[in-house]
Amino acid sequence: VAADRISSGPLLTEVVRVALPTPDGTFEVRAFESPTGHVYLALLHGDVAGREEVLTRLHSECLTGDALGSLRCDCGVQLRLALRRIAAEERGVLIYATGQEGRGIGLVNKLRAYVEQDAGHDTIDANLRLGLPVDGRNYDAAAAVLIRLGVGSVRLLTNNPDKVRRLRDAGIDVAVVEPLATAPHVRNTEYLRTKEERLGHVRPARFDTSALLGEVRPHTDRPYVVLKFAQTLDGRIATATGDAKWISGEAERRVSHGLRAACDGVLVGVGTVLQDDPLLTVRLVPGASPQRVVLDSTLRIPPAAQVLGPEAATAVVTTPRSAPARRGELKERGVQVHVVPATPAGVDLPATLSTLRGGGAETLLVEGGAKVITSMLAAGLVDRLVVGLASTIIGQGTEAVGSLGITSVADGIRLVGRSVHLVDDDVLLAWDVAPARR
Ligand SMILES: NC(=O)c1ccc[n+]([C@@H]2O[C@H](COP(=O)([O-])OP(=O)(O)OC[C@H]3O[C@@H](n4cnc5c(N)ncnc54)[C@H](OP(=O)(O)O)[C@@H]3O)[C@@H](O)[C@H]2O)c1
């Protein structure tokens, strides 16, 4: 029987019910108004009344993360993942709590707290410095919604132990707690670490790529550059016919997607687009897709290339040698086009990286083929090297690195601070690239 009140809990009024089709499935939305004027949306899939262990997410509104895709937090990724999990299970509920911005401090105060964070304070101290609570949320109304929906007990998707305690205190039978692991971005790693260390949250360990990324130090004139490729045990990144799908196993590729999710940009040359037609999005882990960057001095990129699709932002870096009409066509599709000086290898790399840095990119993952790998290493523009060593041998094929003009081993690019990761039968190796010796 639906209860209007739970113990001393708030009175809720159900104000509307309607179907809401989303890319994650069609949900029945039931809107409840609390006496404070805040609206709680219950996004329902399947029948939950009288059911036990209903997959449930209680999601606090985060305009910047949910709607704008801000990388300061992982709220948007958690929201999408929770909706997807519920749709896949064909039964469950996500309660979207408005008025709970910034753990209950409101949108403007949350933005003010970001200013404090930019001055070096963590997410907790930032609130305290502003005289605001660390967590001002109240879960009573959300609990009342669950009771009104007739949910018997819940399997709660959360990393937050306090949410579990407080829902239990409000009379909800939390039968199971399931962590909602996301692939963190470099920009929210500290925020997640603070929540883990100071608020006891569960860490998204499965997708944590920070050991591979090393210590991220963006430069003033270019992003922190991570060069990543997968090669066979005999040192090939593709067969003699150009096939590279897939050199490494699925587990290694999942880590690669985690690396993409951690970075602001993922860069390839047009050769890789023409040969592989990659999407370059984050699909194998729950994370945000970075901006995709294609180096293409004459705009050979086919209009139908997947990398130009709407799944993520894309920038094409070209030279004065490309046709202005082609640049215009790309811009009309929402693709950024940067024109930089031409060099014999293609686009001028320092100018390219400086342009990307000017656009806000702090971390760049380079996933290009042999030509881009070679150019980046030759120009001394790589901070970190990550190599997936795949458990296969293919004989003749494309070598990862072409000529660097090095004639003496002593002049080789030195790699330091080795880090090793085992992923199924593959091995991931990462090093810092040591500064060139003079
Ligand atoms: N195993 C792996 O990890 C992996 C990863 C990626 C690719 N691949 C394989 O690598 C092969 C593609 O190799 P690729 O060497 O053609 O691809 P790429 O290095 O990604 O692209 C090379 C092209 O990028 C353009 N470019 C623009 N500026 C450049 C610059 N400064 N330096 C270098 N290139 C620049 C050039 O074309 P323009 O002169 O027209 O601008 C150049 O031909 C494919 O077989 C693919 O499957 C393997």
User: Can you give the pLDDT at residue 4?
Assistant: 41
Ligand 1 center from residue 435 Cα (angstroms): 25
Q: What is the pLDDT of residues 340-392, one digit of tens each?
A: 999 999 999 999 999 999 999 999 999 999 999 999 999 999 999 999 999 99
Ligand 1 center from residue 423 Cα (angstroms): 26
Catalytic residue (one of 137, 155, 253, 384) = 137
Q: List the residue whose alpha carbon is closest to atom 45 of ligand 1.
A: 242
Q: Which of 260, 295, 349 to mutate to test the pocket of ligand 1 (most atoms within 8 A of CB)?
A: 295
CB under 6 Å to ligand 1: residues? 229-230, 237-238, 242, 244, 247, 268-272, 275-276, 295-298, 300, 345-347, 349, 367-372, 375, 398
Q: Is the pLDDT of residue 5 over 50?
A: no
Q: List the residue whose alpha carbon is closest to atom 25 of ligand 1.
A: 269
Query: Both tokens of residue 93?
Result: 């509920």
Ligand 1 center from residue 247 Cα (angstroms): 17
Q: What is the DSSP string of 169-219?
A: HTT--EEEEE-------HHHHHHHHHHHHHH-PPP-GGG--HHHH-S----
Annotation says 140 is catalytic = no
The answer to whether residues 31 and 41 touch, using CB atoms and an 8 Å cutoff, is: yes
Cβ-proximal residues to 84 (8 Å cutoff; 6+ apart), any chain: 24, 25
Annotation says 135 is catalytic = yes
Q: Is the pLDDT of residue 221 over 60?
A: yes
Reported confidence tier of residue 438, pLDDT bands at 50, 70, 90? low
Query: Both tokens of residue 52?
Result: 């036990």
Q: List the residue whose alpha carbon is closest to atom 16 of ligand 1.
A: 271
User: Can you give the pLDDT at residue 11?
Assistant: 85
Q: What is the pLDDT of residues 150-168, one digit of tens each?
A: 999 999 999 999 999 999 9
Ligand 1 center from residue 280 Cα (angstroms): 14
Q: List the residue whose alpha carbon is closest to atom 34 of ligand 1.
A: 372
d(CA 364, CA 384): 10
How would you class 269 by CB atoms within 10 Å of its CB: exposed for 0-12, middle for 13-18, buried for 19 or more?
buried
d(CA 307, CA 7): 54
Q: What is the pLDDT of residues 122-132, one digit of tens each?
A: 989 999 999 99
The answer to whether residues 89 and 53 touch, using CB atoms and an 8 Å cutoff, is: no
Catalytic residue (one of 24, 66, 74, 135) = 135
d(CA 254, CA 284): 5
Q: Which of 199, 149, 141 shows the shortest CA–CA distance to 170?
A: 141
Residue 185 phi/psi, 5-degree rounding, is -95, 150
The answer to whether residues 272 and 278 touch, using CB atoms and an 8 Å cutoff, is: yes
Residue bearing the bigger pLDDT, 247 or 137 = 247
Q: What is the pLDDT of residues 24-69, one digit of tens each?
A: 999 999 999 988 889 999 999 999 999 999 999 999 999 999 999 9
Q: What is the share, in percent, of the chain residues with pLDDT greater than 70?
A: 97
Averaged pLDDT score across all residues of the chain: 93
Q: List the residue whose alpha carbon is closest to atom 7 of ligand 1.
A: 369
Ligand 1 center from residue 121 Cα (angstroms): 41
Q: What is the per-residue burial (b if ≥16 Cβ within 10 Å, else e) of 64-77?
A: bbbeeebbbbbbbb
Q: Which of 253, 258, 297 shows the shortest CA–CA distance to 276?
A: 253
User: Can you give the pLDDT at residue 3?
Assistant: 42
The answer to whether residues 202 and 179 touch, using CB atoms and an 8 Å cutoff, is: yes
Interval 7-35 mean pLDDT: 88
Q: Is the pLDDT of residue 335 over 80?
A: yes
Q: What is the per-residue burial (b if ≥16 Cβ within 10 Å, else e) of 177-188?
A: bebbbbbbbbbb
Q: What is the per-residue burial (b if ≥16 Cβ within 10 Å, else e) of 315-337?
A: bbbbbeebeeebbeebeeeebbb
User: Can you give the pLDDT at residue 210?
Assistant: 92
Residue bearing the bigger pLDDT, 365 or 437 = 365
d(CA 317, CA 267): 10
Q: What is the DSSP string of 229-251?
A: EEE-TTSEEEETT---TTSS-HH
User: Can you give the pLDDT at residue 205?
Assistant: 62
